[in-house]
Amino acid sequence: MKQLILVFTFCLFTQINLKAQEESAYFLVGTGAMDMHIAIQSSKDALSASGFKVIGEYNPGNSNNLAVICYTSPELEKIALGFKDRGALAATLKIGFKKDGDQVKISMINPIYLFYAYFIDGIDKQEAALAEISEKAKNAMKKVGTDFTPFGGTLDKAKLQKYHYKVMMPYFEDAEELNEFSSFGEGVKIIQENLQKGKGETAQVYKRIYTNEKVAVFGVALKNTETGEANFLPIVGDDHVAAMPYEIILQENTASILPGKYRIALHWPELTMGTFMKIMSTPGDIKDTMKSLTE
């Protein structure tokens, strides 16, 4: 009987431990009757007061009912730059806003979910520091809302570290190269000029240029109504608006993006194959638009 109790206790502990390792893609920070601008400003103030820097904001799909703010911190940027395979993509986190009638939903991507997915080799050495940054971000947003209901699907660390949607679908490592330049400086110049012109019906949401490391990340608004955010967000679900904007990363002299079949699936982990088929052209459309910014 004693052995049976021990086995049961061990199994129960194992189940609890496994469940504790699961991370939700997003948190619903709170919902309330408020003005969208007030919700955004309150969130920006809360992040700034906690040592984060807000680096961009915009309305995805040109919708007044959707908004995103992007933020980072020196500690996060330092860690992210230590991961040479596009780690800087995880240096920027996002808060989403969705207005429905007089109600505004405030959500945030779960920082640790993103860290596990984007920081592959060597994350164990930085895990404690990353967990601290994640908690710091959540605590900052608790000044705005206290719900923090997990949503959007859950994945554990092991699955996030080797995430792909289905067999034969891309992994994080399978980034899509857009262009090569004669130098890092030339790449920055061309991408910035194209964004300033709004080439491909785009706009710059944020940029982070790390000259010493020869890394730059550009958050890009996809404004074309037929191929951009206004087209695919309503299909996949704009409750996940904190997944946006999509990014270009320039490392040394090579510009690339994460494949749409990876990035969209990661940020919408509960997406069915049927829904994915409805946006079958979206990954290619995004790549074509981003590539145009490098030419």
Spell out the domains of the chain, with CATH numbers in brackets. 24-152+164-292 (3.30.310.70)
Per-residue exposure over 268-294, b if at least 16 CB sit within 10 Å of its own CB, e if not: bbebeeeebeebeebbebbeebbbebb
Instruction: Note the helical H segments in the chain.
Output: 2-20, 36-49, 74-81, 111-118, 123-141, 157-161, 184-197, 229-236, 260-267, 273-278, 282-292
Quote the pLDDT of residue 200.
98
Residue 214 CB: number of other CB atoms within 10 A? 16
191-195, Cβ contacts within 8 angstroms, sequence gap of 24 or more: 191/216, 191/218, 191/248, 191/250, 191/255, 191/293, 191/294, 192/218, 194/292, 194/293, 194/294, 194/295, 195/220, 195/293
Amino acid at 124: D
Measure the CA–CA gap between 169 and 193, rounded to whole angstroms: 33
Quote the pLDDT of residue 13.
45
Quote the pLDDT of residue 168.
87
In the predicted model, residues of the chain with pLDDT beneath 50 are 1-2, 4-20
3-state secondary structure 236-291: HCHHHHHHCCEEEEEECCEEEECCHHHHHHHHCCCCCHHHHHHCCCHHHHHHHHHH
Residue 90 is classified by DSSP as: G
> What pLDDT, in 10s, does the model give residues 209-265?
999 999 999 999 999 999 999 999 999 999 999 999 999 999 999 999 999 999 999
Q: How far is CA 267 from the centre of its chain?
A: 7
Quote the pLDDT of residue 38.
97
Tell if the pTM clears 0.75, that is, is over it.
yes
> What pLDDT, in 10s, does the model give residues 53-65?
999 999 999 999 9
Torsion of CA 270, 133, 233, 221, to 10 degrees: -150
Sheet holding 66-72, edge to edge: 53-58, 66-72, 93-100, 103-109, 22-33, 149-156
Q: Are 286 and 293 in contact (CB under 8 A)?
A: no
Q: Is 83 helix (H, G, I), strand (E, B) or coil?
A: coil
Q: Which of 178, 156, 66, 81 is nearest to 122 (CA)?
A: 81
Quote the pLDDT of residue 121.
87
Quote the pLDDT of residue 3.
54
Quote the pLDDT of residue 9.
45
